Structure 1
């Protein structure tokens, strides 16, 4: 099912309404959808590099708005909406494991790691932020910075290197981002251990 969703999302980039679809996918990715907006963003930015920055801004804004929707689901409709969504995508166990002992620091850390490396998936973090009642303004600003940094970095890479960088982005950038996220998480764990 994931492969067919991936292919369907990628096919949207060829439509005249691709920019609208980018906004929709960026929005729903942050609250309920499994496929990242990058799948649509990359071919769109390569096809029209002069619009890469614009696409990055659209993806960022709608990703943050979708994150706020995820926060709202977690805060006000957890049992009715969040649990079925998380169960459907097989993320409820991940969510429950993350919820235990959560703090503002760990939410900010997860916003950074999910914003850059999809670790954990952004929808898990947005719903979790609402469920534990993280301050909405803090959440929105953090999401804006991390999601914006990701899309703007992708836009810059695509504008500078074009098609040549696509393989690197699709195959290796995610792994590098995960390594970076792992380093950030390890640094945080070491920091917490040193405090105790």
Structure 2
């Protein structure tokens, strides 16, 4: 099963639709989708190390555009879609505390949470809901998402061969670690955010 999944991800990463798929996942993850774009960025950067920086740029731009959608969901659709997302991730009862945190530390929340496995959609929807300064939100999103994706692309570009070999030998373990990190991000988000 894992070999088949790895083969599919690897095939997609090497296809002519790879960048469009990466952009779609990065866009969706910043507003409503639970799977981070790293799942495509990593195999794409490993398959084409010379394009790793381009892939990071695609992921960054699409993620920021998706973040703008998340902001709009929080600002304009909170009573319907935004509230559903906030409750889905367990933040319904924490909104007052979150408003106070954003009033003082919103810039830091955006920067830190954009780099971590904590779902970025929570930051984008909350920023819109709380009416955080939109130009500053976009600038901080570019900075934090760019840092994350360029760090991933750079690490895979520099250490590509050992990482590729480890993924091919132990894809089940790599996938399990990725799922564990993503799950930990959701748990941390519920406890800390």
What band does the TM-score fall into relative to the shorter chain? 0.7 to 0.9
Q: TM-score, normalised by structure 1?
A: 0.74
Deviations 1:36-91 (A, max 9, x none): 0101100011011111000000000010111111011101111122123344x434
- Residue of structure 1 in register with 2:45 after alignment: 45
Residues 45 and 91 of structure 1, relative CA distance in 2, 3 Å threshold: farther
Name the SS for the 2:100 alignment partner. Answer: coil
- Which segment drifts farther, 13-22 or 31-40? 13-22
Question: How far has the Cα of 1:13 moved from its partner?
Answer: 2.7
- Residue of structure 2 in register with 1:187 after alignment: none
Name the SS for the 2:58 alignment partner. Answer: helix
Q: TM-score, normalised by structure 2?
A: 0.75
> Counterparts of 1:97 and 1:113 in 2: how far apart (Å)?
20
1:162 aligns with 2:151: no
Question: How far has the Cα of 1:101 moved from its partner?
Answer: 1.7
Gaps in structure 1 of 5+ consecutive residues: 1-5, 183-196
Question: How far has the Cα of 1:158 moved from its partner?
Answer: 1.2
Deviations 1:98-145 (A, max 9, x none): 5342334422222122211123x2101100000000010000000000
Q: Does the 8 A contact of 1:95 with 1:124 survive in 2?
A: no
- Residue of structure 2 in register with 1:139 after alignment: 137
> Counterparts of 1:125 and 1:94 in 2: how far apart (Å)?
16
Which structure 1 residue ranges, 4+ long, deviate > 3 Å from structure 2? 9-12, 89-98, 165-168
User: Which of 139, 147, 150 is the matching residue for 1:149?
Assistant: 147
> Counterparts of 1:100 and 1:132 in 2: how far apart (Å)?
7
Gaps in structure 2 of 5+ consecutive residues: 168-173, 189-193
Greater relative contact order (Cα < 8 A, sep 6+): 2
> Counterparts of 1:127 and 1:141 in 2: how far apart (Å)?
16
- Residue of structure 1 in register with 2:59 after alignment: 59
